[in-house]
Chain A
């Protein structure tokens, strides 16, 4: 590389570093956290090596049994052992007491050869050994499977988790449904609104733009609190509807799906209006008059001329709104009910509630994958036709 090449490489270095440190590294960390599973391997290194050549016989040969005893005899760090036991117990219930008992026994007589089944008959259970063997490798698909309500059964086949335990998939679908309804609502309001702004002039245009930008400049909490005030049973909206006699009893507008969708639409509207508006500005003003002189009534002129031209803006606005909506957390938490919590709240629960970073990361990855898949679909459909200069 010559001097000029080096210089330009040095100029982009800060950007590369920034992207690496703040984007790729966290992403990689999340990915490895989701699949890493080294608690058992760390506490039972000898066993891990011995189990790699296990032939599946139960109980296994003496070498493997001795390896378990050796690991239990040399381990000093109680917390490492604790992590491993917790992990084993979640794979095979009863493992905790089994290890505790075995630990105490093998520690009492240091060098003697061991017969684990003599210590506890449970060691003769094939499920225990299979669970142990599966927990030993440093990587697992357990979290990723759990994120979509799947698990491996004792034979290692992927199975649906029980009805009672399966919540993630429902919440994931709910998240996409809420994001999609917010996107649809934003599009329904945003397109006419953007056309209104583009058609207005002078201070009216400034005012309309301000009105849509204002939510962006207001604190999320303030905005959400304002919606609580507006939408509650004796709030402004219900009060108004009752005053004009449209309804007898207040509509349930808050702490349910309606409240979540309304509040999120309000916040995300600018992300829809601005892309559409910027596309509208590039459309020559004489196209609609031209369509009219060619015999198109206003509706058909809109459908055949303006709408296809504004579609790229509508698409990118929808994509923006949808992706931002997918990750919404505070608004559903504040104005939604229990049935309106989105996937972010589940991630937050695992991350801050139970410190299960593996699950939190796995859910994050599933969300990311779904979003990327959608983006790919969008990219396929929104390819600009050749010679189309917008």
Chain B
């Protein structure tokens, strides 16, 4: 995969506040990359720099090999889908979608043909004559999408485009977006603060914090092997246990975790004895049993169990530890007050720096 968009040493400061700090980021052609992070982490600023509305304080941005810092927004030939869609209220749906083609001087006959094709693609073929105010949120979202893609831009940038939709619609749109991306082979840069959204759609996720990339990689890697505590805690729920490295044998680290407890965790890192680390375990990896011999068994009591529909959330209290577990509904019931052992396989842990 070739580097299609490159951010090289990009920094952006507003006054004394640094929003993006010395960023290097490569986006591949045809990739769906999510920029994920809490608000204020600089992800939207990066998108706006790429779109041409914010000039970087330092550094270079290359698009398809060409430096684009000096190119004004209207000449960058990117598609942008804004948070609140930014549809033109005085134009019909068709006129909205035709707008970028008109600006490019496309012939009338071709415009109407391409607009029809675009609207069909987002299943709005019949609503071309309506105005945006007469459409539902999801429909407006699709119009914005059709408008940003009708001129076949090199890249489509999306700034939290699904944020205003309700949960069900959002999940449906996520799948549709993923299908569109796959069928059209588009390069998409998608800004979101919703981790499940990023996990669902992305080829790769870049997790941002305070203007820096904490970790970048495919969703499974981000979820299963977080490299920092921030990533582990930002992406989904996680249990964090502190420990000191005792030894490392064949990729399995042995850590002592206070009061004589020993934790085993698989890792590909090179560790030195005495290093203080955090063991991160996802709730669904924790099993509750009455087997004290299981790996990483910690004696606990089920302090609370909360019904969540498809699963049951368990609060497990042990001696000096508090864990969150998750019980599949197909597995045996563990009522509140049950005493037993919480355990997890060494393969299911991630080790991050404390």
Residue ranges of A at the interface with B (Cβ–Cβ < 8 Å)? 284, 286-287, 289-298, 300-301, 304-305, 308-309, 385-390
Residues of B within 8 A of A (CB-CB), count:
32
A305 partner residues in chain B, CB cutoff 8 A = 88
CA distance in complex: A389, B104 (Å) = 28
For chain B, residues 131 to 154, give those with C-beta under 8 angstroms from any C-beta of chain A.
Answer: 131-134, 147-148, 151
For chain B, residues 257 to 296, give those with C-beta under 8 angstroms from any C-beta of chain A.
Answer: none
The answer to the question of B90 belonging to the interface, with a C-beta cut-off of 8 Å to chain A, is yes
The answer to the question of B99 belonging to the interface, with a C-beta cut-off of 8 Å to chain A, is yes
Contact of B130 among A290, A298, A308, A387 (CB under 8 A): A387
Top 6 nearest A-B pairs (CB, nearest first) are A290-B86, A387-B131, A294-B100, A295-B103, A293-B80, A292-B73
Asked if B52 and A292 make an inter-chain contact with CB atoms under 8 angstroms apart, the answer reads yes
B151 partner residues in chain A, CB cutoff 8 A = 294-295
Contact of A387 among B51, B73, B102, B133 (CB under 8 A): B133
Q: Residue of B at shortest CB range from A285?
A: B86
CB distance from A198 to the nearest CB of B (A): 17
Chain B CB within 10 A, most for which of A292, A293, A308: A293
Asked if B104 and A295 make an inter-chain contact with CB atoms under 8 angstroms apart, the answer reads yes
CA distance in complex: A289, B72 (Å) = 11
CB distance from B255 to the nearest CB of A (A): 50
Contact of B131 among A287, A292, A295, A388 (CB under 8 A): A388
Asked if A388 and B89 make an inter-chain contact with CB atoms under 8 angstroms apart, the answer reads yes
17 more contacts with CB within 8 A, not counting A297-B72, A390-B89, are A289-B51, A289-B86, A291-B74, A292-B72, A293-B76, A293-B148, A294-B74, A294-B147, A294-B151, A295-B100, A295-B104, A297-B74, A304-B102, A305-B88, A385-B90, A387-B132, A389-B133
Q: Residue of B at shortest CB range from A290?
A: B86
A308 partner residues in chain B, CB cutoff 8 A = 90
CB distance from A265 to the nearest CB of B (A): 29
CA distance in complex: A121, B139 (Å) = 92
For chain B, residues 33 to 58, give those with C-beta under 8 angstroms from any C-beta of chain A.
Answer: 51-53
A287 partner residues in chain B, CB cutoff 8 A = 86, 88
B52 partner residues in chain A, CB cutoff 8 A = 292-293
CB distance from A197 to the nearest CB of B (A): 22
Can you give 30 contacting A-B residue pairs, CB < 8 Å?
A286-B84, A289-B51, A289-B53, A289-B80, A290-B80, A290-B88, A292-B53, A292-B73, A292-B74, A293-B51, A293-B73, A293-B74, A293-B79, A294-B74, A294-B100, A294-B148, A295-B75, A296-B103, A297-B74, A298-B74, A300-B103, A305-B88, A308-B90, A309-B90, A386-B134, A387-B130, A387-B134, A388-B90, A388-B131, A389-B89
The answer to the question of B82 belonging to the interface, with a C-beta cut-off of 8 Å to chain A, is yes
Given known pairs A387-B130, A388-B131, A388-B133, the reply for A294 and B103 (CB within 8 Å) is yes
CB distance from B289 to the nearest CB of A (A): 54
The answer to the question of B78 belonging to the interface, with a C-beta cut-off of 8 Å to chain A, is yes
B77 partner residues in chain A, CB cutoff 8 A = 295
CA distance in complex: A296, B88 (Å) = 13
Asked if B82 and A290 make an inter-chain contact with CB atoms under 8 angstroms apart, the answer reads yes
CB distance from A83 to the nearest CB of B (A): 60
CA distance in complex: A291, B89 (Å) = 12
Asked if B89 and A309 make an inter-chain contact with CB atoms under 8 angstroms apart, the answer reads yes
CB distance from A290 to the nearest CB of B (A): 4
A301 partner residues in chain B, CB cutoff 8 A = 74
Contact of A286 among B78, B82, B132 (CB under 8 A): B82
A387 partner residues in chain B, CB cutoff 8 A = 130-134
For chain B, residues 148 to 166, give those with C-beta under 8 angstroms from any C-beta of chain A.
Answer: 148, 151
Q: Residue of B at shortest CB range from A390?
A: B89
Q: Residue of A at shortest CB range from B151?
A: A295
B130 partner residues in chain A, CB cutoff 8 A = 387
CA distance in complex: A386, B89 (Å) = 11
B102 partner residues in chain A, CB cutoff 8 A = 304
Chain A CB within 10 A, most for which of B52, B53, B74, B102: B74
Asked if B88 and A289 make an inter-chain contact with CB atoms under 8 angstroms apart, the answer reads no
Asked if A295 and B88 make an inter-chain contact with CB atoms under 8 angstroms apart, the answer reads no
Contact of B82 among A289, A297, A304 (CB under 8 A): A289
CA distance in complex: A291, B102 (Å) = 12
What does the 1/0 interface line of B100-127 toward A look like (CB < 8 Å)?
Answer: 1011100000000000000000000000
A290 partner residues in chain B, CB cutoff 8 A = 80, 82, 86, 88
Contact of A289 among B73, B79, B103, B147 (CB under 8 A): B73
CA distance in complex: A289, B88 (Å) = 12
Contact of A295 among B74, B83, B84, B134 (CB under 8 A): B74
Q: Residue of A at shortest CB range from B135?
A: A387
B100 partner residues in chain A, CB cutoff 8 A = 294-295
CB distance from B174 to the nearest CB of A (A): 22
CA distance in complex: A386, B134 (Å) = 9
CA distance in complex: A287, B132 (Å) = 13
